[in-house]
Structure 1
Amino acid sequence: MRPFSILPDPSMMFWSERHKRAYAVLEYGLMTRAPLTVVTGEVGTGKTTLIQALLRQTDASMKVGLISNARGDRGDLLRWILNAFDVPTPPQADYVALFQTFQDFVLSEYAAARLVVLIIDEAQNLGAETLEELRMLTNINSGTDELLQMILLGQPELRDIITRPELRQFAQRVSATFHLNSFELETSRDYIRHRLVQAGGSGNEIDPAAAARIHAEAGGIPRLINKIADLALVYAAVGGARTVEAALIEELIADGLILTARKEEPVQDRLVLAARGDAKRTLP
């Protein structure tokens, strides 16, 4: 098993404190049937892996649809959504027909005692107008029962879009939100050790100095750590070395195999949980 594959793999999940909190927010959204839950983070911080882990916990009481990289104009979003739930639609259907089809689907699932959960990855690509269209879909919910839940994952600019004045109604529907920052040095070291052990190693195949150099070059982004560590293990094997040292990482850099990672601007840690009413509480 490759310890540092860049593909999302819940079985290799490293539960940093930040990832535990992000997952708690996702679970909170499902448990309370929150209409909108939002998790953001830089590319490669593990948002998709979190969702894959969450999907393993869903049961027959939920009908889950997953959309990645959705784009398009008004009406296209509904086609994306219906396709995610395998609901057939005529190519010539107009917006009203598409909306009615979706509403009928949600109501039929509710009648069967199933909650409809829509997960949208890379939601920053939707833009302000499409996000407002999503908010309108939550109007399907009525009375005391929530028929439709949405979980949005995206890059940091998604937070910027949501906090625009014209999307204040959308923001008010968001019951829980969390931002995944990049790793600190010690967390990166623990992450590297964890992946090595999970793959059957001792955890010492990459020494602490090399791990620190990987962290600095990757800017603490897990996906970039994986790419650098994977190359380092290959270089070590070719050279007959049993341990990756900092000098080998410098060799990778000198050979031009590593693109310097852009360091993330720090985002203030904030975990906001809101009940269905107006009351909110903020946790550190």
Structure 2
Amino acid sequence: MPQPRVAVVGSANMDLVGTTPALPRPGETVLGSDFVMVPGGKGANQAIAAVRAGASGVFLGAIGSDAFGVTLKARITAAGVDTGQLRVVYGSSGVALVMVNAAGENAILVLPGANDAFTGLTEGELRAVREADVLVAQLEVPVETVTEAAVAARAAGTRVVLNAAPARPLPAELLAAVDLLVVNETEARALTGRGRDEPEALLDLVPRAVLTLGAEGARYVDRDGISAHVPAVKVDTVDSTAAGDAFTAALAVAWGEGRGLVDAVHWAAAAGAACARRLGASVALPRRVEIDELYAPPA
């Protein structure tokens, strides 16, 4: 298959990840066990995941002038992602405090830092968007930046995949530029007021959508009348923190390779499952061979 070019516009954080038998309740202190410090942020995760899944990837975002920023750029670059357009702004990098329990469930506090300063795309950043086969974006950076990138992509014929997370209202200009929307049930409700039983409500906003359902898999719908349920791939879950990012990135890569979208969702489900088997976002993001090992094509 041809190697697709994927541009990712989004956040970069340093993830401070600790494991504990049970997540603490308000006012409670619990003892944990393992600790890892790994690059994260939905944007950086999806850029690394896209490259590991087989794409040529460029990451557009902002890091701080602190030690975390130095480490973030080094790790993202080492993963094979083009960071030539990555901005460095004065101040702190984004940080995520992640707690993971014995079942692989998590609680996350994100402190945006430099991500909030990622505004007003440069000509070099816009060129990277225009030259890509697929643009992938999320909502951990200012929505105005995501909108600017999506509009530029649409004008250039670049496909736009929006992972609308975290949930927030979306401007009409952004929705008009989106080719494929990826949301979980919480995000779908925020956008449409409807849940898992009515994924078609998303088609009032965009031409194609994937509704992820955790252990129940995912649902693909489009305006051509195609609707397909894709079951989850069963694995022993260790940490689900970046599984959604692996899913979205693999979906974009498969679509960029020319696969049909139902098949692409099946491959993305395998990527999400492969990611959930290890602790730590960027460490867990799977390589193509790991995705293929779990992939089951649609019947």
Q: Give me the TM-score of the superposition, normalised by structure 1.
A: 0.27
From the two aligned structures, give the one with the greater helix fraction: 1
Q: Give me the TM-score of the superposition, normalised by structure 2.
A: 0.26
From the two aligned structures, give the one with the greater strand fraction: 2
- State the structure with more CA Rg: 1
